[in-house]
Structure 1
Amino acid sequence: MKKNNPHAEGPDDRVYTARLPLSSATLNYLATLICGHLKRFESPWRALPAGKIAGIVLAVLPCDLRPGDLAGGNGVHRTTVTRWVREVVGLLAARAPRLDRALKKITRSGGGVVLLDGSLIRTRRPTGGENRKNYSGKHKCHGLPVIALTDDRGRLLWVSAARPGRTSEIAACRHDKLTQKLRAAGLGAITDLGFVGLDDSGLDADPAMITGYKAARNRPLTRGQKLSDKALAAVRAPVEHGFAHLKNWRVLGKVRTDPKWATALVRALLVLTNREFAR
């Protein structure tokens, strides 16, 4: 007896729909941004409308879908989707807050302190001589470190540029002159023990960096110092939440080692994250 069982997979591609974990307000904001960009440069033609382009880009960023798969399901080429993603990321990155403006905004709102922390964005790039500068000895992997400031509720205020993995957090802060700008704005930053030694102000000056106490081999911490570190850790908890919201975007798991592209990507995700959590 001959069996004629149909195959589960056919020669044709299958197109399916998926739900994005984003609000319609973010989609409308991105579509309006794309429409304004096209009118500004007198380039109204695109293969798809602005709303559809915004949906495709928002499928790449939070879900890390492949541009080739999205291109096949929407009748465009893979390079077109990649170009759209780069274009939208550049538009969003241009709207990321600058450091001086973010500090002035906190000062006008009556805030006195900000939360400071650093994180490493891992990259997927084979090792080699050219990629050696992106190896982080602290994290034992390749990546790009970034510094971020948040308010006392964990809302991201500013993200620094992505630098090679061998750059320490203190070196990144000194490159951005973070201590001087905080002192000029009359603010203080609560940080972890990784930033001990960053603030080199005198004994009579107000500290711009508030850190805990670090134990030494021959100098253990006292009970009062341990309680102080515990209190600072509780205050610093929102900054960890801010980084967690930022790293919910799965596209950060496949960042290549191009610092310029990584900087634009992180700052674009900062804008989208703030819009999502400001609703």
Structure 2
Amino acid sequence: MTMACRLVGPCVVGMQARGLITSERRVTGLSAAVIADLVAELGPAWQAPRDAALLDRPRRRAVGAGAKYKLVFVDRLLATLVHLRHGVTHDVMACWFQVDRSTITPAVGEIRPLLADRGCRIEGRLRLRTLADVMTHLGATGQTALMDATEIGVRRPGAHRGGHSRPISGKSRINATKALVITDERGRPLFCGEVRAGSVADITQARDAGLVDPQILADAGYQGPTAQTHGQVVTPPHKRRSKHLEHLQWLMAHHEAARFAHSSARIPVEHVIAHLKNWRALARHHTRRDSLPDTIRAVAGLLTGQQATHHTKALALPTTPA
């Protein structure tokens, strides 16, 4: 059996349903070209462990014999994309794909780590998978990074488990998990991760991540590391005081202008967080909290893939002669 047959397999959800999911961008948030690239890229990575498991022991059946997958790779990928985009429960996905919920849950659990390991795509085929890759890239290019943290609501820990107060955010007063987001000045995600509990402060999360080498623009929540990093982490200026009214008015005007300029420079990272929250799996995480890091990295990789494809098409458009 060829790779194409094993990846496509029998028509479980029907070619019409597959065509609707891939052609209508509102369903997955991705264009058909991006989904085709995902199938070509992740298909061999999904099939390789299964082929290795078959070769690990003596074969007792002919190639292609035995039980067939109720949900083949393409359907598993589409189900995972719809789940991440709209936060659809596994029960609803099972009804849509005409399988049991016990088939959807492991399918999403298989595809999500593959999407997370892809990393964030930037120029060409270059991908940044870890925070060390991001620091190396920023140091080599001399770019200024933008940093912020976003809170994602999660389920409260069970009654039989400890640490009930640790996920509670001190800002929003809800059970949340905090993720670090780093982008470049053009608003392209470079890294999403370093997940911490909601009670952890932004400055503590940045210190644990070791962000001290490149120049990074951050908000007022990161004012502590400014002196420790010799100005590499740039935050809004502190408000100054004066006893003289005229001098005080000048200081206030200068302070507001400086804060406005700083906020305008780092607005792209706020836009990236908004694009990430368009994926309902990150607007509110309803599944297990230990799967959230993979979900964040998977969504960030999908977002950068769509952005890179859109940018490539924009450059490839023919220019109108004057």
Q: Tell me the TM-score normalized by structure 2.
A: 0.71
- Could you tell me how far 1:104 is from its partner in structure 2? 2.2
Deviations 1:95-136 (A, max 9, x none): 22211212222343x333110111111124378664211001
The answer for the alignment partner of 1:121 in structure 2 is 152
1:134 is matched by which residue type in structure 2? P
1:210 is matched by which residue type in structure 2? V
1:116 is matched by which residue type in structure 2? M
The aligned runs of 1:169-180 (5 Å cut-off) are 169-179=202-212
| Higher fraction of helix | 2
What CA distance in whole angstroms lies between the structure 2 residues aligned with 1:224 and 1:135? 37
Decide whether the 8 Å contact of 2:169 with 2:176 is kept in 1.
yes
The answer for the alignment partner of 1:190 in structure 2 is 217
Decide whether the 8 Å contact of 1:56 with 1:70 is kept in 2.
yes
The aligned runs of 1:102-181 (5 Å cut-off) are 102-108=134-140, 110-125=141-156, 130-179=163-212
The higher-RCO structure (CA 8 Å, 6+ apart) is 1
RMSD of aligned Cα (Å): 2.6
What CA distance in whole angstroms lies between the structure 2 residues aligned with 1:86 and 1:217? 55
Change (3 A) 1:38 1:227: closer
- Could you tell me how far 1:256 is from its partner in structure 2? 4.7
- Asked if 1:263 is matched to 2:293, the reply is yes
Query: Residue 41 of structure 1: SS of its match in structure 2?
Result: helix
Decide whether the 8 Å contact of 1:57 with 1:85 is kept in 2.
yes
Query: Residue 161 of structure 1: SS of its match in structure 2?
Result: strand
The aligned runs of 1:1-279 (5 Å cut-off) are 19=24, 20=27, 21-43=29-51, 46-96=69-119, 97-108=129-140, 110-125=141-156, 130-179=163-212, 183=213, 187-201=214-228, 205=230, 207-215=231-239, 221-256=251-286, 258-279=288-309
1:118 is matched by which residue type in structure 2? A
What CA distance in whole angstroms lies between the structure 2 residues aligned with 1:35 and 1:233? 42
1:30 is matched by which residue type in structure 2? L
What CA distance in whole angstroms lies between the structure 2 residues aligned with 1:258 and 1:52? 23
Deviates more, 1:23-32 or 1:216-225: 216-225
Decide whether the 8 Å contact of 1:118 with 1:145 is kept in 2.
yes
Query: Residue 215 of structure 1: SS of its match in structure 2?
Result: coil
Structure 1: gaps of 5 or more residues:
1-15
Deviates more, 1:19-28 or 1:151-160: 19-28
Structure 2: gaps of 5 or more residues:
1-16, 52-63, 120-128, 310-322
Decide whether the 8 Å contact of 2:157 with 2:163 is kept in 1.
no
Query: Residue 175 of structure 2: SS of its match in structure 1?
Result: strand
Q: Percent identity?
A: 26
What CA distance in whole angstroms lies between the structure 2 residues aligned with 1:199 and 1:147? 18
1:138 is matched by which residue type in structure 2? K
Query: Residue 163 of structure 1: SS of its match in structure 2?
Result: strand
Deviates more, 1:95-104 or 1:188-197: 95-104
Decide whether the 8 Å contact of 1:162 with 1:259 is kept in 2.
no
2:203 is matched by which residue type in structure 1? I
What CA distance in whole angstroms lies between the structure 2 residues aligned with 1:264 and 1:102? 18
- Could you tell me how far 1:214 is from its partner in structure 2? 3.1
What CA distance in whole angstroms lies between the structure 1 residues aligned with 2:193 and 2:79? 27
- Could you tell me how far 1:217 is from its partner in structure 2? 8.5
What CA distance in whole angstroms lies between the structure 1 residues aligned with 2:186 and 2:34? 21
